[in-house]
Amino acid sequence: MPAEPTALAGPEPDMVAVRTSRAWRLPVFPLSVIAIFLALAVVAPLLGLPDPHEQSLRRRFKPPGWEEAGSWTHPLGTDRLGRDLLSRIVWGSRVSIAAGVVTVLLASAFGAAVGLAAGYYGGRVDAVLMRITDATMSFPVILLALILAVTAGPSFTNVVVAIAVVLWARYARVVRGQVLTLMQLDFVAQARIAGAGAWRIITRHLLPNTLGTLLVLVTLQIGYVIIVEASLSFLGAGIPPPTPAWGSMIAEGRDVVTSAWWVSLFPGLAILLVVLAFNLLGDWLRDTFDPKLRQL
């Protein structure tokens, strides 16, 4: 008796459900880390922590509370001026996270506008805007920040401006490439036939279809900006003392890293956790918004 032909069946319903649930499962670790640091940054004045600027040479280089010579009054120890390290890390989170969010919002808004204009109008407009974008991407952020620090002095505003002036080009490139793809689709041609103007097509059709990509890039770039801000503060071109900043805190402990390891270690761990959390969240958003990856 001949065997019955075997049909090519698609994936089992149970497997599809499993893949869908995995794609939309919230990333607990990155969201928890980000939520904790955001909460600490917001409620820092209400936590009853010691003044991050209060100095006392009698308690300088106090080790963490679990060490033999440590005290739980200062759970993470103190720095060379006797300032509480936990308090400075918590208050420093306000600076680092604020710098990351503000810089990325400014850069993404301007870069998205440039990318939308270049992709929609094309021709000479596209050529001019993309040459400016290429020139901007070739300029090092650190050098620009150092120039601003020398001419205008290190400050929060200068750090944000220095990074945003260079960072917008990345958003312009990504958005422009996506807009060029969208311009080939039927719904844009139909909108033009219906009499829609450039502003309506850009704001109602092109921009909404780029928001998913923008959201992923914004999430990934926040971690990058935090690292750049910490690097500038480490070099003395970022947030000026005595304002707590994770980068400058690491710099303060580099000369005593063998004897007072906690001064640099704990701010470094804070940077590691926050940047890793934003990167993992960005990867999850990319996988969620990309239908090709969801089908794997």
pTM as predicted: 0.82
pLDDT confidence of residue 277: 93
pLDDT confidence of residue 132: 92
pLDDT confidence of residue 143: 82
pLDDT confidence of residue 109: 93
Strand boundaries in 133-174, DSSP class E? none
Report the candidate in 130, 60, 86 with the shortest Cα–Cα distance to residue 269. Answer: 86
How many angstroms separate the CA atoms of 155 and 172, rounded? 27
SS3 state of residue 66? coil
Q: What is the 3-state secondary structure (H, E, C) of 171-210?
A: HHHHHHHHHHHHCCCHHHHHHHHCCCCHHHHHHHHHHHHH
Ordered domains of the chain (ranges, CATH): 28-45+60-70+79-294 (1.10.3720.10)
SS3 state of residue 95? helix
pLDDT confidence of residue 10: 46
Mean pLDDT per 10-residue segment, the chain (296 residues): 45 46 70 91 85 85 82 86 90 89 93 91 89 88 78 82 89 90 81 78 84 88 90 84 87 85 91 93 82 50
